[in-house]
Amino acid sequence: MNTATSERLYKEAEEHIVGGVNSPSRSYRAVGGGAPIFMEKGEGAYFYDVDGNKYIDYLGAYGPIITGHAHPHITQAIQKAAENGVLFGTPTKLENQFAKMLKEAIPSLEKVRFVNSGTEAVMTTIRVARAYTGRDKIIKFSGCYHGHSDLVLVAAGSGPATLGSPDSAGVTKNIASEVITVPFNDSESLKQALETWGEDVAAVLVEPIVGNFGIVEPKAGFLESVNELAHANGSLVIYDEVITAFRFMYGGAQNLLGVTPDMTAMGKIIGGGLPIGAYGGRVDIMEKVAPLGPAYQAGTMAGNPASMNAGIACLEVLQQDGVYEHLDLLGKKLEDGLREIISSHSIPATINRLKGALTLFFTSHKVSNYEEAEQSDGKLFARFFQKMLQQGIHLAPSKYEAWFLTIAHTEKDIDETLLAAKRAFSEMEEE
């Protein structure tokens, strides 16, 4: 495969853009380095790169592109917004319309606020939880990613429930000391953390279905115990549904699982591919937000007409009959095919899948928390990633990411992908 133009553009990018990329996850450092592929065009389930190569896309832009690229209904909505003027700095009726749609889909959102990214949404839920409870600390789960605001760039220490340490230069030790990290799917450690720091804990923050160390579902009863333990302690429960909202069904993971948080942060899919974030929850909590309450949050671009229109259009597409059934069907076909390949080769691998999202871990053990996800062999993943790319299958360049299906993917795409995966496994076995 000729990728000379991508290589040239990457060299140029490195001269002007730090690291050559505008988000570190786009770099190929974790998969052996080299130039990331520069895309020219996306259409349905496919990418076309600057050298004219075609790929089946399983990146889905890290989650938002559930309808496939350039879905005509969303494209039209964006065009219409552009013609009407993209930004007013005043309220528009689109914001009402979209807020109502979100509330109908996810009933725990008694009041919502639109922001511009998942990072902002999560960051603000934490601020509001602190304002509501008058407490400073939060508890989060190791390996979950909640954007790049200071408070959530805190890594676990060693031990089941620990005060964090900065996970990024520039995050102060003081900030890290406000975050307690416990293993996902481990109610006992959460209980222990609440016993130790309980009076100071404003909120427990969790991805109800994890998307950031691969797709990992909560064990039966885990989220119920998060609610019980947090509430008994006077702490709030915040769901980070930036990946999960509208991924597995029309609504949130909370609808699917039947567990209700006090506040929810969203992003990705709800913008139909344009920048967006949103947060919401119980009205008595949300009323702490300015201009009604003392917790400040604002945004020049927040609720802008283009993002609103794209988001509404995206949800309209997702309301159509059969959308989530199609994603599940294709997901199952992909999972079954990959399992067959795994079982007929000697490479250790396992799969976690929920509906149209899956992760292939290069470990023979099952994965239900970050520690287990870390066991996935990064070198094997890197080889697999490169071999798939060479065959026109575009995965996320990290062993921790999910493969995201879109409604534009077809059974034929899955067949092609499985053929490529079979070849990749066979070559890896022989090498």
Among 49, 57, 95, 207, binds ligand PMP (CB under 6 A): 207
125 near ligand PMP, judged by CB under 6 A: no
Task: Give the Å distances, CA to CA, from 96 to 113, 226, 309, 332.
Answer: 10, 32, 11, 37
273 near ligand PMP, judged by CB under 6 A: no
d(CA 21, CA 27): 7
In sequence order, the 6+-apart residues with CB closer than 8 A to the CB of 425 are 341, 342, 345, 347, 384
Q: Could you tell me if residue 142 is left (phi over 0), alpha (psi between -120 and 50 degrees) or otherwise beta?
A: beta
251 near ligand PMP, judged by CB under 6 A: no
Residues in region 30-89 near ligand PMP by CB under 6 A: 62
401 near ligand PMP, judged by CB under 6 A: no
Tokens of 267: 């992003």
Task: Give the Å distances, CA to CA, from 196 to 135, 158, 296.
Answer: 14, 16, 30
262 near ligand PMP, judged by CB under 6 A: no
User: Per the residue annotation, which of 268, 333, 355, 399 is the catalytic one?
Assistant: 268
267 near ligand PMP, judged by CB under 6 A: yes
Active site residue 55: no
Residues in region 141-160 near ligand PMP by CB under 6 A: 145-147
Among 6, 108, 119, 406, binds ligand PMP (CB under 6 A): 119
**Which CB atom, from 117 or from 406, has the smaller least distance to ligand PMP?**
117
Active site residue 240: yes
Smallest separation (angstroms) from ligand PMP to the CB of 307: 12
Contact 111, 287 (CB under 8 A): yes
Smallest separation (angstroms) from ligand PMP to the CB of 278: 11
Cα separation of the two ends of the chain:
20
Task: Give the Å distances, CA to CA, from 350 to 52, 335, 359, 366, 410.
Answer: 33, 10, 8, 7, 23
**Which CB atom, from 201 or from 238, has the smaller least distance to ligand PMP?**
238
Phi, psi angle pair for 426, to nearest 5°? -65, -45
Q: How many residues bind ligand PMP (CB under 6 A)?
A: 15
Smallest separation (angstroms) from ligand PMP to the CB of 210: 8
Closest CA to 418 of 336, 319, 325, 311: 336
Among 117, 368, 398, 417, binds ligand PMP (CB under 6 A): 117
Beta bridge partner(s), residue 93: none
User: Could you list the active site residues?
Assistant: 145, 240, 268
Note the residues at the interface with ligand PMP (CB under 6 A): 62, 117-119, 122, 145-147, 207, 211-212, 240, 242-243, 267
